[in-house]
Amino acid sequence: MAESDPVKTGVVGLDAILGGGIPRGNVIVVEGRAGSGKTTLGVEFIYRGATEFGEPGLIVLFEVSPIKVIRDAAQFGWDLPDLERQGKVKVIFTTRSVLQQELQQADSLLLAEAARIGARRMFIDSLPPLPVDGLNGHDGNNGGAREMFHTLVQGLHRENLTAMLAVESPGLERVRHATPPVEEFIADTLIVVRIEDVQRAASRSIEIAKSRGHHFQMGSHSFRIVDGHGLEVYKRVQAPRSMSREMAAAYDPTTRVPTGVSGLDELVNGGYFLGSTTLVVGVSGVGKSVMALQFIAEGARRGEHSLMLSLDETPAQIMRNGRTIGIDLEPDIARGVVRVQYDSPQEIEIDRHFAQIERVVEEFKPKRVVIDSLSTYGSTLGSSKRIFRDFFHALVALMKEHQIAAVYNHENPEILGMSSMAGEYAMSSLVDNILLLNWVELSDEFRLAITVAKMRANPTKRVTRECEVVDGEGMRVLPRQIPPAALPFSAYYGLVSRSPERHASRAPVQE
Amino acid sequence: MAKGPRFQHLLTSIGVLRHPCDLDLLLFFHRHPHALLTSDRLAAYVGDDLNQTARSLDLLTDAGFLKRSQNPTHAARMYVLQTSGTGWLTSLIDIASTPDGRKSLLDAMKEASEAEASLAESTQSDVLRRTRRRTSVS
């Protein structure tokens, strides 16, 4: 019964983490300190039950006056008074001791109210933190608190109500796995909500610490309280997704996606594979975003859905940049072939951000995606390289699952030459193709060089070729033999090693 | 006080509120339309003594503002505010939401209560006087 008839919370993203819902009849404890979102979660549990799943519910309050809960709920668009008029919800104010007595009485007034509206759910807000086993509570009465919690749970079981109990946790996080408090033993489902300081910002997280009778996604997931809507939970980026995503690969070795950069397709055997991951590495201003725009514009020209995800520049700036190289994306956006999505890198929450990318990929179904740039993620996510790698891994798996040719720009800090392909993030092994864009100082000028450093499952010459960005036209890779105004790269050696030198007596290579 | 007649009118239309505890209970039940409480807890919430709270609860219940469960085996009772057709409650709450408004309301209630008492007293004196006159004539 529990497996086939779970109680859905209706909270965006939460049921997916709960494996579809919570087994009916489970006593759910939501633990968190003040302001962590316990009441909003509980009220939404009741509201969604009444409006989306035909399950009336009771809200029992001890401290907050119902009028305030009703007012706060209205901010999310939840009209509790209307649901009360319809007999789908009832908000009751009482005390903890009365509730305890009521749950011990066969003719309980509270349960009679619940029966009157056919309640299937109950939210109780809130219980004080129960003492850690063997220690006294605030009132020095461990046994009393324990007894009260037992009575409460037994009463709820008897009535077959799926109840959510908010439990205040102390200001400081309890040391988990030491001696868990009483409610953690007795509760069937334990949800911990937290609000944490992250580099002067606040970040909310939710964790299913325990839940009897079903599978759920462990770990700490992000959530937000969204005005006009309620809670939105974002599965942690590291959490496993579907098996199809886990097993995804660039499994079509014939279809190539042209780059849109004149002369580049020749170097990459006609284009990138579908489902492949390409890293374009270079110092700032070297032309990575220009290449990206041309890749997107080429997709639009072919009628392929093309998506540009930017952390660096707003859509307006991207449009302006495009126009300077003869690319006008606006008509393609208007006809729905191109989408440009921007997210501010300030205070980015990686789980939410990844959920947004998942959503747009699933809805828009692009064939090409550009991410500009990975280095901004690196700097935004702070010192944790592990989080960056997990995010990038998840991104690559998502793109492969949807067989998208994905191009990731990555800023390398070295202005001349390169000593590593992807800097400190050690992600080279995850990518199929690596293109190095590099300045070469020859005589008194910087000239632009491109090297295909890696092409998985492809023959690669690994030659370094000159390229240029022409106003109104964009980037093009020059032929190996160029007109003799300047000596071609083939007249030099050591182009990427920061010390190019001219061959003493070698003539330029003829192709 | 300029606001006096307005409050008097409101109180006349409400009809029954005479004691500060009556008002405080009404405001409490506005904030807690369904409350399952013991009367001593209610008395503590409104800050009055148990006897006065009991009298005020009876008054509000008899006037039809409040419905309460009648189950002698329960220490707590379920109180449900009966708000249908009582648009005056909104006006009352608006007025009582400021310290000045609340004070004015309480003053008006006191005046109404005193006027009622004096009316009752004079009525009683008239009756006594008429009774005495009738006795002396006979």
Q: Are A120 and A56 in contact (CB under 8 A)?
A: yes
Q: Which of A289, A299, A253 is nearest to A455 (CA)?
A: A253
Is the pLDDT at A334 greater than 90, yes or no? yes
What's the one-letter identity of residue A84? Answer: E
Which of A27-36, A123-132, A139-148, A366-375 shows the lowest mean pLDDT across its residues?
A139-148
For A206-224, what is the mean pLDDT? 94
CATH architecture observed for domain A255-502: 3-Layer(aba) Sandwich (3.40)
Q: Do domains A14-234 and A255-502 have the same CATH topology?
A: yes
Q: What is the pLDDT of residues B45-77, one digit of tens each?
A: 999 999 999 999 999 999 888 999 987 777 899
For A193-205, what is the mean pLDDT? 86
Pair of tokens at residue B129: 């006087």
The number of CA neighbours under 13 Å toward the Cβ of A204 is: 20
Q: At what angle do helices B20-31 and B88-96 cross, to 10 degrees?
A: 110
pLDDT band, residue B114 (cuts 50/70/90): confident
Does the predicted TM-score (pTM) go above 0.95? Answer: no
Domain B4-137 class, CATH top level: mainly alpha
H or E element in which residue A59 lies:
strand A57-61
More confident residue, B133 or A173: B133
Is the pLDDT at A176 greater than 60, yes or no? no
For A26-43, what is the mean pLDDT? 94
Q: Are strands A89-94 and B34-37 parallel, antiparallel or unpaired?
A: parallel
A358 touches chain B (CB under 8 A): no
Q: Are A211 and A230 in contact (CB under 8 A)?
A: no
pLDDT of amino acid A3: 47
Is the pLDDT at B9 greater than 70, yes or no? no
Is the pLDDT at B120 greater than 80, yes or no? no
Q: What is the dihedral of CA A314, A320, A323, A328, to 10 degrees?
A: 50
Residue A454 vs residues A11, A432, A435, A436, B106: alpha-carbon distances, Å:
44, 7, 7, 9, 85
Q: Do A67 and B31 touch (CB under 8 A)?
A: yes
pLDDT of amino acid B115: 77
Q: Do A107 and B71 touch (CB under 8 A)?
A: yes
Is the pLDDT at A139 greater than 60, yes or no? no
Is the pLDDT at A285 greater than 80, yes or no? yes
Q: Which residue of A92, A98, A109 is in closest CB contact with B69? A: A109
Chain B contact set for A95 (CB, 8 A): 37-38, 41, 76
pLDDT of amino acid A427: 74
For A84-89, what is the mean pLDDT? 96
- What is the rounded radius of gyration, in angstroms, for the C-alpha atoms of chain A? 30
- Residue B120 distance to chain A (closest CA, Å): 40
pLDDT of amino acid A219: 92
End-to-end CA distance of chain A: 73
> CATH number of the domain at A14-234, please?
3.40.50.300
In angstroms, rounded to a whole number, what is the distance separating the alpha carbons of residues A81 and A72?
12
pLDDT of amino acid A28: 94
Pair of tokens at residue A175: 């040391």
pLDDT band, residue A237 (cuts 50/70/90): confident
The number of CA neighbours under 13 Å toward the Cβ of A107 is: 10
pLDDT of amino acid A250: 63
Chain A contact set for B37 (CB, 8 A): 93-95, 98
Burial of A145 (0-12, 13-18, 19+ CB in 10 A): buried
Share of chain A above pLDDT 70, in %: 86
Domain boundaries, chain B: 4-137
In angstroms, rounded to a whole number, what is the distance separating the alpha carbons of residues A74 and A48?
14
